[in-house]
């Protein structure tokens, strides 16, 4: 976490949390969800209008990535100074990129994921990895590379149903829905 964020948290400890305004899609893109996007429906499954506007500012994206954490309830958030901005997830809290050649895995934030502990394949053919850094979906652009790891026997996917994943891996897809 950035030092400036820690200082702001100490200075203003009672800032209310924010829900519904930030989303992470299945390709690791951050979306700002204004009132109109939130009225259009839930981030996951609510259609294109419910996503909001994709963030394109590199420094903002990096700042979010450095301050992206989870609480004890499995709600992922961006610590924006003294305020927690809970993240609506389209799929999982991490979107993994897989390097061609050595199959090194990194997150949508650029963080190294460490060793792959398990791989899972859902009913739609989506590949997930449990890594030392956490649980996430393999980016669609890297499925071919990941398939090579599976073919080489490095990863042996377990069949799963996608609806079981949040409870099994302890994450909340929609903190906004939980908050009411």
What pLDDT, on a 0 to 100 scale, did the predictor assign at position 72?
A: 97
Q: Which domains does the chain have, with CATH numbers?
A: 3-91+171-179 (3.10.540.10), 94-169 (no CATH)
What pLDDT, on a 0 to 100 scale, did the predictor assign at position 150? 97
* pLDDT, one tens digit for every residue, the chain (180 residues): 678 767 766 766 777 789 999 999 999 999 999 999 999 999 998 899 999 999 999 999 999 999 999 999 999 999 988 889 999 999 999 999 999 999 999 999 999 999 999 999 999 999 999 999 999 999 999 999 999 999 999 999 999 999 999 999 999 999 998 876
Residue 99 near residue 118 (C-beta atoms within 8 A): no
pTM: 0.91
**DSSP assignment string, the chain:** --HHHHHHHHH-TTPPPEEEEEEE-TTS-EEE--HHHHHT--TTTS-HHHH-EE---HHHHHHHHHTEEE-TTS-EEEEETTEEEEEEESS-SEEEEE-TTT--EEETTS-B--SEEEEEE-TT--EEEEETTEEEEEPGGGHHHHHHHHHTTS--PEE--GGGHHHHHT--S-HHHHH-
């Amino acid at each position: 976490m950035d030092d400036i964020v820690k200082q702001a948290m100490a200075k203003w400890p009672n800032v209310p949390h924010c829900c519904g305004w930030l989303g992470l899609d299945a390709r690791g893109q951050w979306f700002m969800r204004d009132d109109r996007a939130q009225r259009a429906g839930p981030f996951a499954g609510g259609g294109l209008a419910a996503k909001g506007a994709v963030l394109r500012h590199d420094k903002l994206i990096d700042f979010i990535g450095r301050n992206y954490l989870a609480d004890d309830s499995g709600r992922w958030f961006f610590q924006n100074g003294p305020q927690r901005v809970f993240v609506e997830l389209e799929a999982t809290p991490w979107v993994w990129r897989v390097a061609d050649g050595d199959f090194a895995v990194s997150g949508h934030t650029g963080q190294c994921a460490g060793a792959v502990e398990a791989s899972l394949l859902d009913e739609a053919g989506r590949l997930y990895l449990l890594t030392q850094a956490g649980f996430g979906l393999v980016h669609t652009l890297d499925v071919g590379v990941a398939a090579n790891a599976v073919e080489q026997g490095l990863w042996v996917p377990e069949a799963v149903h996608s609806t079981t994943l949040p409870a099994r891996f302890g994450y909340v897809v929609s903190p906004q829905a939980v908050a009411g």
